[in-house]
Structure 1
Amino acid sequence: MSSRTVAVTGLGLVTPAGIGVGENWQRICGGRSAAARDPELASLPVDISCRVPGFEPVARLGATHARRLDRHVQFALVAAAEALVDAGLDHETWDGARVAVVMGTGAGGPGSSYTQHQRLIDHGSAKVSAHALPMLLPNMVAGQLAIDFHATGPNLVTCTACAAGTTAIGMARYLLLSGACDVAVTGGAEAAVNPLFMAGFARLGALSRRLDEPARASRPFDAARDGFVAGEGAAVLVMERVDDAHARRAGVHGYLAGYGASADAHHVTAPEPDGRGTEQAMRAALADAGAEPGDVGHVNAHGTSTPLNDLTEALALWRIFGDGVVVTSTKGVTGHMLGATGAVEAVYTLLALKNQCVPPTANVEKLDPDIPVEIATGAVQLRPMSLAINNSCGFGGQNAALLFSRDAGSSPSSPRSLSTPRETAG
């Protein structure tokens, strides 16, 4: 396994569960939903979302810089700064030509598109920002990270809908293994909670209509689930080849051992009814790592809280793992962060491995009787495990899976650990 395994040496998060990895993990383990009524969506049939709390871009990035960036890029910069500090890397002194940036996003800057279009309609072209195009272009999240952190190596953005962050991490691993870079800054970012996007999702019938109790609206695998709650956020991981990470005695959070991807080739929005595409991606990740299903102890599922996704994914999981894994969906807390969600959940999967525990799936009151796999509910479950999978799916039938390992042979430093709450989830 070690010849195809890469080390994760840095983590950064900006999500509805908080700003920073520690704050996120506490809330995920506590199972407290971030969903609330959203004033920006007040005119729509569905007006609930999961927003990043207390995010002040001017305070974090400076007024001039913040004004020129779409919100998803702002999130990514803050997450990347945390991840680089965590990895013990200094962008002022590193060899930027050996640093790749690979980010995922499903939509780029739709918030900026919406705002600038409103300015055009209401006030004319003279009021459209000169930075409108850079703010809305999907490639700019990787481009801006490269600019801010002096990374002149390979630079790209993956756009595989809600699998984008997962795809980006898989592609970054390929670059490291090919020798194209020595450090990969990778992850996903999204900030698409605006009236136009949410109106579109509402028209598709994809959003939860539990408007009278938003904190209970995102309920993956629950019998009464009726749709997802949209969220926003970013995650950045720093990855290196195992030998390089060990040579500089870097702290290691875990190891990415396998990656798999597939296409349903079925429908633009609906998953393949039997979950065969999702199954194919997970089996490919296992094969890539030389692992067997029985080696895996935990799956962080895509688990959107939609009737179709949760059932088809659960069927795929059952065919591969039977009752051998404990499954969770952290979207009960964060909502669905679209193109960022896979990267965020990759971090949660790594934290579950490090802490040898599975966080609960929030808001499961009555498990859907058609769901055959074991779903973690109620409270954190302590569970010895060496491998875990993070699973993502997206519109267009995009599927991607990451297989993470707790260990990769002998290591000069033990993985760092965050404290895990033991109390019952609220």
Structure 2
Amino acid sequence: MTVYVEALSLVNALGEDDAILANLAEGRAPGMEGPLVRTVDGFEAPFGRVTIDLPDTNPPSSRNNRLLRACWNLRKTEFESRLKDFEDERIAVVLGTSTSGSQEFSDWWKARKFGSEMPPFAGEWQEMGAPSRDFASFVGAKGPAYTIATACTSSARAIISAARLLEAGLADAVIAGGADTFADMPLNGFHALGVLAGERTRPLTDHRPGITIGEGAGLMLLTRRPSAVKLSGWGESSDGHHMSSPEPEGRGAEAAVRGALSRAGLTPDDIVYVNLHGTGTGQNDASELAAMNRVFGGRTAMSSTKTYTGHTLGAAGVTDAGLLVLGLMHGGLKLPAQFSEGQTPDETLPLSGVLREPALIAPGPVMSMNLAFGGSNTALIFEPTS
């Protein structure tokens, strides 16, 4: 059985939907141009913001839920047109997140402690199931609805779970993706680990300052009905190496890649581009490239796009994969060079295949990689159908 992507909506620091491709080609991220954010000890860091207005809700809801609604509204007419042939009970929702409503709780707690005006807050906002529950109600989907929270692979696993629902015949259409928005918890958590960058992240360079966090959302409509783009393969693994550090040789990442290739019936040489997880930390970049080198042997174009989106955490899977799907829908993906002016590649890494010049990736099989705390690894392969 083949799973197809019928519609896509995407919003992040690059912009929204079709504007994302133009901004990425120019190496411009409007959402990265805002003020710095600050940790509890005063460390300042850039942040990749969503710049569109989010809808108000009644009753009030979390920023994550509002961002998902905004993402839907960008393509509402197309989504509704394609869903009208399906019964509501056969439409499922599977979303990924890692922050849910945690920032709203943080704001409420600080207001209570310091005696300032109390902001709106409801305890269920910070439940990990809240995004899918709220969104399914918003769009009228009455099939299975659940949220996956596996840190930075959350929305990639949501896409995989959506494909499995379709394969099992438990749904006829699945809205899959996810969202994460600014939250004090991951900002301070990454800083405590010593990997929060004080300047824009520079993956694969010899001076990698660490992670730049971003916010974003993405929604894919997946069905068994033929369309221009198909999800041809996926792989996932859980190596359980360490709570917060990747396995140094990238064995779990390699297993996910090989699983995706096997399911798609493709060889490494069939893949025309890999969007790396590429967070810009020393350990992530080294372990991921070790895995890529063993599988692809330096023959496949690859790069990381997180300089422009930031690391969108639970939304990283749909953010990174969504860029590839947008490219396939529009006849190709124009990418900037991995190393901009003044940046020096880390030549201790196996960099063969990494884009050193701007490139146009012609339509063909493309792969998106995501890696997460606890040794969670995913690989998604998308292809044009003609």
Normalised to the residue count of structure 2, the TM-score between the two structures is 0.92
Quote the Cα distance in structure 1 between the aligned partners of 2:166 and 2:48: 34
Q: Which residue pairs with 1:31 in the alignment?
A: 27
Match of 2:123 among 133, 140, 156: 133
Native 8 Å contact 1:83 1:236 kept in 2: no
Residue 237 (1) aligns with residue 216 (2) = no
Q: Which residue pairs with 1:356 in the alignment?
A: 332
Q: Which residue pairs with 1:21 in the alignment?
A: 17
Q: Which residue pairs with 2:251 in the alignment?
A: 276
Distance 1:133 1:361, change over 3 A: farther
SS of the equivalent of 1:403 reads strand
* Equivalent AA in structure 2 for residue 207 of structure 1: L
Residue 392 (1) aligns with residue 370 (2) = yes
Distance 1:313 1:331, change over 3 A: same
Q: Which residue pairs with 1:156 in the alignment?
A: 146
Match of 1:115 among 107, 110, 118: 107
1:362 deviation in Å?
Answer: 5.2
Distance 1:363 1:36, change over 3 A: farther
Quote the Cα distance in structure 2 between the aligned partners of 1:384 and 1:25: 14
1:401 deviation in Å?
Answer: 0.9
Q: Which residue pairs with 2:58 in the alignment?
A: 64
1:89 deviation in Å?
Answer: 2.6
Matches within 5 A, 1:211-360: 217-241=200-224, 244=225, 246=226, 252-354=227-329, 355-360=331-336
Quote the Cα distance in structure 2 between the aligned partners of 1:360 and 1:113: 38
Distance 1:294 1:47, change over 3 A: closer
* Equivalent AA in structure 1 for residue 273 of structure 2: H
1:104 deviation in Å?
Answer: 0.5
Native 8 Å contact 2:8 2:322 kept in 1: yes
Matches within 5 A, 1:57-206: 57=54, 61-62=55-56, 64=58, 68-87=60-79, 89=81, 94-123=86-115, 127=118, 129=120, 131-191=121-181, 193-206=182-195
Native 8 Å contact 2:98 2:313 kept in 1: yes
Match of 2:355 among 376, 382, 402: 376
1:324 deviation in Å?
Answer: 2.2
1:195 deviation in Å?
Answer: 3.4
1:16 deviation in Å?
Answer: 1.0
* Equivalent AA in structure 2 for residue 356 of structure 1: G
1:287 deviation in Å?
Answer: 1.1
SS of the equivalent of 1:392 reads strand
Structure 1 residues 99-137: Cα deviation after superposition (integer angstroms, max 9, x where no partner): 00000012322211211211332339x9474x4213211
Quote the Cα distance in structure 1 between the aligned partners of 2:328 and 2:85: 32
CA-atom RMSD, angstroms? 2.2
Structure 1 residues 5-29: Cα deviation after superposition (integer angstroms, max 9, x where no partner): 21101111121111x2111111112
Structure 1 residues 207-230: Cα deviation after superposition (integer angstroms, max 9, x where no partner): 1133xxxxxx21111121120111
Quote the Cα distance in structure 2 between the aligned partners of 1:341 and 1:92: 29
1:42 deviation in Å?
Answer: 6.9
SS of the equivalent of 2:347 reads coil
Question: Which segment is superposed worse, 77-86 or 390-399?
Answer: 77-86
Distance 1:115 1:361, change over 3 A: farther
SS of the equivalent of 1:170 reads helix
Quote the Cα distance in structure 2 between the aligned partners of 1:150 and 1:197: 32
Matched positions, count? 380
SS of the equivalent of 2:9 reads strand
Quote the Cα distance in structure 1 between the aligned partners of 2:101 and 2:223: 29
* Equivalent AA in structure 1 for residue 280 of structure 2: S
Structure 1 residues 270-313: Cα deviation after superposition (integer angstroms, max 9, x where no partner): 10000111111111111112221121111011011111111111
* Equivalent AA in structure 2 for residue 312 of structure 1: S
Native 8 Å contact 1:46 1:202 kept in 2: no
Distance 1:203 1:299, change over 3 A: same
SS of the equivalent of 1:390 reads strand
Quote the Cα distance in structure 2 between the aligned partners of 1:167 and 1:227: 24
SS of the equivalent of 1:231 reads coil
Give ranges in structure 1 of 5+ residues lacking alignment: 211-216, 247-251, 411-426
* Equivalent AA in structure 1 for residue 345 of structure 2: L
Distance 1:106 1:234, change over 3 A: same
Q: Percent identity?
A: 29
Native 8 Å contact 1:120 1:128 kept in 2: no
Normalised to the residue count of structure 1, the TM-score between the two structures is 0.84
1:163 deviation in Å?
Answer: 0.7
